[in-house]
Structure 1
Amino acid sequence: MTRRPSPLARVLSSALAAGTLLATAACSDGGDDRDGSRASGITATQVAGRQQTPSPTATLTEDGAQAALITEADIEDDWTQVKDTEAENWNDSLVIGTVDVSDFLTAKTDAADCQRLMNSLFDDDLLGRPSGANALRGFQQGDSRLLYQVASYDRTDPQDSLSWMATLPETCDQFTVTEDGEQRTVQVIETSLPKVGDARQGLRVTVRGTTGGAEATLTLTVAAVRVGNDAITVTTGGLDGDEQDSAEQAVRIGTQNLKDVLAGKTPSPDPSEVE
């Protein structure tokens, strides 16, 4: 399903509507080393992911993509599923802005990567536009939101995008974006994910700024897991924090759902049965 705009930061729609948010970001220049390796921002998991090939027995269909979606029970807490049309149109102006090239030593190249990150967050296409079946589901909890997507990239290579994501904690550790004269500080760090799928990458993006004279901070966890040429992506967080635990649950159960669908199985309705 193609949609735009549908930003990653829709995590804040209610706050944005009230004009209370302009977010900020505080990030560290380090990151969790999930696989014991973090050379040049590319983890061992991702290098291995290029060499591994999954063994799905089916091509992902639209029905299969829908079947692989997670439910409220999968992420626990007090998440409430929203209508698909609402999730498709979640918008967050906080991630809109022009990256300040002067923040970078290798200005044009690094600034372009950070601009791509911000644009991809707004468009919800960190792995590129799906070339096959895709489906999404949105959940809300207070001022936080979670968007879960499953899609096929059979005519592109999702691993290229995962490898690019792995470089961002170093390339885009901290930078400034400007929109309508307002400056926001953005910080990016690597975050750990369950060791599932053929390759995976997690980021925490923090945006900090002011709006209406008030300071505000938006924190998001962004996760992507590849299974062959298919992948799941999760974007969650908001003013209350990054919702890392919910992201990990969505990744663990969502990856198993996708693997089951590709193997011609029906995903288990009981999340406790997923290892």
Structure 2
Amino acid sequence: MTRRSPRLVRTLTTTLAAGTLLASAACSDSGDTDGGARVTGARASQVAGERQTAGERQTPSPTATLGTDAARTALITEADIEDGWTQVKDTEAENWHDNLLIGKVDVNDFVSGKNQAADCRRLMDSLFDDDLLGRPSGASALRGFTQGDSRLLYQVASYDRTDPQDSLTWMSTLPDKCDRFTVTDGGDKRTVQVIETSLPGVGDAREGLRVTVQGDSGGQPATLTLDVAAVRVGDDAITVTAGGLDGDENDSTKQAVEQGTQRLEDVLAGKSPAASPTD
């Protein structure tokens, strides 16, 4: 399935009650088109006023093509991540954005200059726009959860005409390329740190990162912590972005990865997903 909708620029408005964390589009242009593929909004660097060998693959088990209904069936539930998470409407989750991710990457922070800065800019853009592995070439589905000032976004997507492993390999380089750098947004400066995190040994390949952004939001000091994970299963993949101002969500991310990968593998094998742990 090819994406037919053009990329549209959104006007952002702050949505958290605390007024410090996330923003959603004032006019939503996200939604399901062509059987469920997601159309996303502006990149973080656009808002800030600027743009900028796959590893050896294991042979996946024979699977069916992931369709829209199957992608939705493979989504996790509240019970899969436990710990008091509450599911929100899909239309709300589609419009989540982190204002603290907006900014221009300072090229002077990098030894190799523009090349490293471009990778870090791509990271910030993809986190802001929720397309860490690139735009799915096939069906996709997402689900969002909240807990206090933290949010967890879970996505399932097919990349049958692209290669998610390329993006996973790129992710693996970021703790070295983008270990610490600065972004500026107007007069505000923020420090970003990227480290590698461990994930359960599931799927055909996987990568985990923790991205910490320290700066000011609404005139007050703020630290945004995001745990990010991606798992490939053949030409399909799941991605998880979890965190907020309350601190890391590493345990919930690992639960989402473990339970979600099993659900996706069951769906692709033509099985009904196993019952959630607390069902």
Aligned to 1:160, which of 153, 159, 166? 166
Structure 1 counterpart of 2:248? 242
Query: Post-superposition shift, 1:91?
Result: 1.9
2:117 is aligned with 1:111: yes
- Provide the rounded CA distance (Å) in 1 between the counterparts of 2:272 and 2:102: 39
2:174 is aligned with 1:172: no
Aligned to 1:14, which of 13, 16, 39? 16
Matches within 5 A, 1:4-43: 13-14=15-16, 18-21=18-21
Structure 2 counterpart of 1:34? none
Which protein has greater RCO, CA pairs closer than 8 Å, 6+ apart? 1
Is the contact between residue 4 and residue 89 of structure 1 (CA under 8 Å) also seen in structure 2?
no
- Kindly provide the CA deviation profile for residues 116-141 of structure 1, in whole angstroms up to 9, marking residues without a partner as x: 00000011111000000100000000
Structure 2 gaps, min length 5: 23-52
Query: Post-superposition shift, 1:51?
Result: 3.0
SS at match of 1:269: coil
- Kindly provide the CA deviation profile for residues 105-163 of structure 1, in whole angstroms up to 9, marking residues without a partner as x: 10010000000000000111110000001000000000100000000000100000000
Q: TM-score scaled by structure 2?
A: 0.82
Query: Post-superposition shift, 1:210?
Result: 1.3
2:99 is aligned with 1:93: yes
Structure 2 counterpart of 1:123? 129
Query: Post-superposition shift, 1:253?
Result: 0.5
- Kindly provide the CA deviation profile for residues 155-192 of structure 1, in whole angstroms up to 9, marking residues without a partner as x: 10000000000000000000000112211000000000
- Provide the rounded CA distance (Å) in 2 between the counterparts of 1:271 and 1:212: 40
Percent sequence identity is 73
Structure 2 counterpart of 1:187? 193
Is the contact between residue 134 and residue 149 of structure 1 (CA under 8 Å) also seen in structure 2?
yes
- Kindly provide the CA deviation profile for residues 204-258 of structure 1, in whole angstroms up to 9, marking residues without a partner as x: 0000001343211000000000000000000000111121000000000000001
Change (3 A) 1:68 1:5: farther
Is the contact between residue 13 and residue 92 of structure 1 (CA under 8 Å) also seen in structure 2?
no
- Kindly provide the CA deviation profile for residues 68-110 of structure 1, in whole angstroms up to 9, marking residues without a partner as x: 0000000001100000000001122111111000000100100
- Provide the rounded CA distance (Å) in 2 between the counterparts of 1:272 and 1:56: 30
- Provide the rounded CA distance (Å) in 1 between the counterparts of 2:15 and 2:174: 26
In the alignment of these two chains, the number of paired residues is: 243
Structure 1 counterpart of 2:149? 143
- Provide the rounded CA distance (Å) in 1 between the counterparts of 2:15 and 2:85: 16
- Provide the rounded CA distance (Å) in 2 between the counterparts of 1:73 and 1:4: 35
Greater per-residue strand proportion: 2
Structure 1 gaps, min length 5: 7-11, 23-41
Greater per-residue helix proportion: 1
Q: TM-score scaled by structure 1?
A: 0.83
- Computed over aligned residues only, the root mean square deviation of the Cα atoms, in angstroms, reads 2.3
Aligned to 2:265, which of 255, 259, 266? 259
Change (3 A) 1:183 1:112: same
